[in-house]
Amino acid sequence: MNLGDFREDYQRDALQREGLATDPLAQFETWFRQAAGEKEQSRWRKIGIALYKLWGAICNHRPADCNAMTLATADKDGKPSARTVLLKCVDQRGFIFFTNYDSRKGRELAENGRAALTFFWSELERQVCVAGPVVKLPVAEAEAYFKSRPRGSRIGAWASQQSEAIPDRAVLEAKWRELETKFPGEIPLPPNWGGFILQPERIEFWQGRPSRLHDRFCYTRQADGAWQIERLSP
């Protein structure tokens, strides 16, 4: 399959140094709100995004969640793996997501406590890349989030031995029904389930531009906690 003719010339927006926030988390929040449709946008951008979403609806295509991100991890030998997970919170500590600690990503983060995230918002022609060390979220915060999840998802967290091989789906569904009976009321937090915080050391903002002359700005955390901002060649 030859994909050489699959090309897109990005023309939707530009990214200038004077328009960047001094704090990359503030810049991320601005871009995230725009990706979520919460930030005021230009009339033409609104029209463009509306047409894109209409086309998706007509074709029965649903755009990916704006909080979907690719999480890349590596084991103790440096062997990498990646998957899509959902961002659940971002604050001054970093980027927060939840998982089964016994899953492949959980085991790899226990062996090698560094990771990278990538967000891609195609209708805005934007990408954000984040890298840094990862630590576990305090149990009390993980429990508070767990209680906010739908009941079925909470039972699913108990039922799934994430990343482990199973003979068929029937085994998983039978386990879920067993646990539904076991927990008729309150469902406790599984001991092997919780959150991680990726503490950013580097955050890059990428804006697609015509002729592949994209705008790229990289924030790098300095020893004193300040952020150095540099424009990168595309």
- For every one of its 234 residues, what pLDDT tens digit does the chain have, with 9 covering 90 and above? 766 667 778 888 999 999 999 999 999 999 999 999 874 555 555 555 555 555 555 555 545 589 999 999 999 999 999 999 999 999 999 999 999 999 999 999 999 999 999 999 999 999 999 999 999 999 999 999 999 999 999 999 999 999 899 999 999 999 999 999 999 999 999 999 999 999 999 999 999 999 999 999 999 999 999 999 999 999
pLDDT score of 197: 98
Q: Is residue 42 part of a domain?
A: yes
Q: Is residue 196 part of a domain?
A: yes
Q: Is residue 9 part of a domain?
A: no
- Report H helices in the chain: 24-35, 43-58, 104-111, 139-148, 151-159, 169-182
CATH number at residue 114: 2.30.110.10
CA neighbor of 203 nearest in space, from 215, 220, 223, 228 = 220
Q: Is residue 1 part of a domain?
A: no
> How far, rounded to the nearest angstrom, does the alpha carbon of residue 213 sit from its chain's CA centroid?
26
Distances (CA, A) of 177 to 51, 61, 148, 170, 181: 43, 32, 21, 11, 6
Q: What is the pLDDT of residues 163-211, one digit of tens each?
A: 899 999 999 999 999 999 999 999 999 999 999 999 999 999 999 999 9
Stated as kind and residue range, the H or E segment containing 80 is: strand 80-86
| d(C-alpha 83, C-alpha 162), whole Å | 13
3-state secondary structure of 116: strand
List the catalytic residues.
212
Distances (CA, A) of 105 to 3, 58, 84, 137, 159: 31, 36, 11, 15, 18
pTM attached to this predicted model = 0.85
Q: Is residue 220 part of a domain?
A: yes
Q: Is residue 33 part of a domain?
A: yes
Measured from the Cβ of residue 29, the count of other Cβ atoms closer than 10 Å reads: 15
- The total number of structural domains that make up the chain: 1
Range of the domain at 202: 17-232
Q: For the CA atoms of 54, 55, 59, 61, what is the dihedral angle to 10 degrees?
A: -70
Q: Is residue 3 part of a domain?
A: no
pLDDT score of 62: 47
Instruction: Find where tokens 């990408």 sit.
Output: 127
